[in-house]
Amino acid sequence: MITHRAYACEPWALRETGLNLDVLPQSESVFALSNGHVGWRGNLDEGEPHGLPGSYLNGVHELHPLPYAEAGYGYPESGQTVINVTNGKVVRLLVDDEPFDVRYGRLRSHERVLDMRSGLLRRTCEWTSPAGSTVRVRSTRLVSFTQRAIAAVAFEVEPLDDEVRVVVQSELVANEQLPDLKGDPRAAAALESPLDPEENLAAGNRLRLVHCTRRSGLRVAAAADHVVKGPESTRTSSESGEDVSRLTVTSVLRPGAPLRVEKTVSYGWSSVRSLPAVRDQVDAALAGACSTGWDGLVAQQRAYLDDFWARSDVEVDGDAEIQQAVRFGLFHVLQAGARAEQRAIPAKGLTGSGYDGHSFWDTETFVLALLTYTSPHSVAEALRWRYDTLPAARERAKQLGLRGAAFPWRTIDGSECSAYWPAGTAAFHVNADIADAVVRYVTATGDDEFERDTGVPILIETARLWHSLGHHDHQGAFHFDGVTGPDEYSAVADDNIYTNLMARANMREAANAVDRHPAQAAAFGVDDEETAAWRDAADAVALPYNEDLKVHEQSADFTGHQIWDFAGTEPDQYPLLLHFPYFELYRKQVVKQADLVLAMCRHGEEFDDEQKARNFEYYEQLTVRDSSLSACWQAVMAAETGHLRLAYDYLGETALMDLADLENNTRDGLHIASLAGIWTALVAGFGGMRHAEGTLEFAPKLPERLTRLAFTVQMLGRRLRVEMRNSTATYTLIEGSPLEICHYGERFTVHSKEPRTRKVRRVPPRPEPKQPPGRRPTSRG
């Protein structure tokens, strides 16, 4: 996207200076607005043309049968897919009876700007109708961070030459026609007109629609109210049907006298509340927003973001694209989780229907890792959603013949809906990823109440899962057989090191939490014998190592497999999963995404510097990065092992995943984890930040092109600013009581408004490791 001439590179905005219909679906994703509860794709106000119409409510989905060639015990019966709910964005315009449509007439200019400081999407265009009338159209759109159920549009039209007659139609539209759905026809059938009408209203300037999903039984309501400002000749009327509720505004306009319509939309849904209750819910939310008014909503949005950027901004000198990208990433990660409030954070956020709207392990490992240090309230809410799904996870573990709780690999409502068990059920590491996010949040915030009420149950049930899943061999080592780690090209393997290390930490932290909260643990039937068994298993976890190659095995005997024929693989055969059977991938040395490298990033204390360097070099030549989740962690480990130029190139790939549409699927929504990975690559990679034993540790190093990196993190109620240049790093406590930190192993305390400056070590150049032919990241020069 930003490589297209229509896109400008700016530090605080994404600006499109011309409308290119070839990338319209991608632009709808990058210009999407959300607050974690309500999501509006960046569709044009007039509704058409579009790539993928999208209005989403977090958690609202439809069920459909899952396809199986042969049935098997424990297979999930139903899939879950996010649906396009009632569209409140639509504002159609007719100029002297000609519909405003950018495909007809003449589009003289067109600009859209996503302002990341104000949280507004602005559009300005000039259009001449086929009959020769020219108008200027301006619109501003927001999805409110402060009023969770609210989104709003301010729409303005003004003639530029002569008097014109205009008609503005503001609508609520349900069951919009979607592009042709490919794949499973049963899923397509479930998503075609998924909303059954229950109630509709048009009264004065107010509109309302209430629907219910057919299979999942979710009631969805949307309501809208309007403020109309125009000449005295302006008239309004309204009408409503089962799937469309419309306000029509007519007026005769002269140059310099625009018509303005301010539209406020409220959303609500429930699986249990009655129709009157959901109706009252959206009406009440709408009344509150209308009392605030458009200007008030805009002011609240700016104040919210001023606070967010004060505690979260990352400043990069030397690379304007990276500066824009990291703020773009931070903004969209915030949008994905800010007001999710005990709902999942989907892999695409609420920017598109990719991955069917499911949440995966990358929420806890990528997204919550960022939010813990920038917006910890969002982390607590996301983990409370996991806690709320514990009953389903316990039932799933029981179904699998295990103790404790088995959280789903992919889900919307907490039940497993992955139809492919080798890369679904077998990927048990999701349970340790969730436990790890709990521990990270508690350590970073000191939220003892959360740990007692939410964290302890999650840690206990996941520790029980691991203890029942693994086994001791005759020599006492503890093994996890038949699991799938992060690398989905190596499924159903024994002793995946990432899984083993995360499980080890899970069991140890669960035992420690039980010691801190004995009363809560007793309520779950935990005794000293059980925690001792967890600790014994953790201490004995196997970590496969090849003595001949002097590298760790990604999983047992991995280095004994045949190496993939990289030289014989054509560039257009990537990603491999679309061109080769999994049978071939599973039995070869080829890595889809960082796995052992991720293990070294997450549990660096288990590897010495030489092991990290050798492991990184060995697995670099096998890793093809057929996943958007890989480059950021490769950047972190490349930086740690002294390959700063390579780390910088991996940072570029992470940063441009969506802005340059590197995987050709941004049309389906943004890669929220990869967007979070930009922060990770900068802060954990070049900032060298680690969070170990309750202390923030830093080992800063900058690639040659970057002259300055500054970021702010929150820790135990304090706010710490870190600013590094090529030769120095300065640590400033902006807010809170003194904080002990670590710089290259040196511990010291930072006091309020007393910056502490330390030298940055020079990183000697090292020969770069090799990648598979054609899979080296693009050089940033």
Any residues with CB less than 8 A from the CB of 471 and at least 6 apart, and which? Answer: 478, 479, 481
Which DSSP helix (H) or strand (E) runs through 263? strand 259-270
In contact, 84 and 193? CB cutoff 8 Å: no
The structure tokens 């229907």 sit at 353
Measured from the Cβ of residue 162, the count of other Cβ atoms closer than 10 Å reads: 12
Residue type, 519: A
Any residues with CB less than 8 A from the CB of 725 and at least 6 apart, and which? Answer: 702, 707, 708, 760
In contact, 325 and 302? CB cutoff 8 Å: no
380: closest CA among 433, 343, 329, 332?
343
Q: What does residue 468 show for φ and ψ, rounded to 5 degrees? A: -80, -25
The structure tokens 């109630």 sit at 199
91: closest CA among 40, 18, 164?
40
- Give the pair of three-digit tokens for residue 213: 């999903």
* Active-site residue identified among 171, 416, 461, 488: 488
115: closest CA among 416, 294, 274, 331?
331
Residue type, 156: E
End-to-end CA distance of the chain: 20
- Using a 10 angstrom Cβ sphere, with 0-12 exposed, 13-18 middle and 19 or more buried, the burial of residue 21 is exposed
In contact, 382 and 345? CB cutoff 8 Å: yes
Q: How far is CA 628 from the centre of its chain?
A: 12
Residue type, 432: A
Helices in 446-571 by DSSP H: which ranges?
Answer: 448-450, 456-469, 497-516, 518-523, 528-539
State how far the Cα of 350 lies from the Cα of 357, in Å rounded to an integer. Answer: 8
620 labelled catalytic = no
What does the longest C-alpha to C-alpha distance in the chain come to? 90
Which DSSP helix (H) or strand (E) runs through 200? strand 195-203
**Residue ranges of E strands in 83-234:** 91-95, 98-99, 106-115, 120-128, 134-143, 150-159, 164-173, 195-203, 206-213, 219-229
- Give the pair of three-digit tokens for residue 545: 């190592």
In contact, 469 and 480? CB cutoff 8 Å: yes
- Give the pair of three-digit tokens for residue 311: 């505690």
The structure tokens 């949040």 sit at 441
In contact, 712 and 312? CB cutoff 8 Å: yes
Which DSSP helix (H) or strand (E) runs through 309? helix 275-312
Specify the 3-state DSSP secondary structure of 107.
strand
Sheet holding 244-253, edge to edge: 98-99, 91-95, 164-173, 244-253, 235-240
- Using a 10 angstrom Cβ sphere, with 0-12 exposed, 13-18 middle and 19 or more buried, the burial of residue 532 is exposed
- Using a 10 angstrom Cβ sphere, with 0-12 exposed, 13-18 middle and 19 or more buried, the burial of residue 566 is middle
Residue type, 356: D
- Using a 10 angstrom Cβ sphere, with 0-12 exposed, 13-18 middle and 19 or more buried, the burial of residue 8 is middle
337-360 burial, b if ≥16 CB within 10 A, otherwise e? bbbbbebbbbbbbbbbbbbbbbbb
Q: Which residue numbers are catalytic?
A: 488
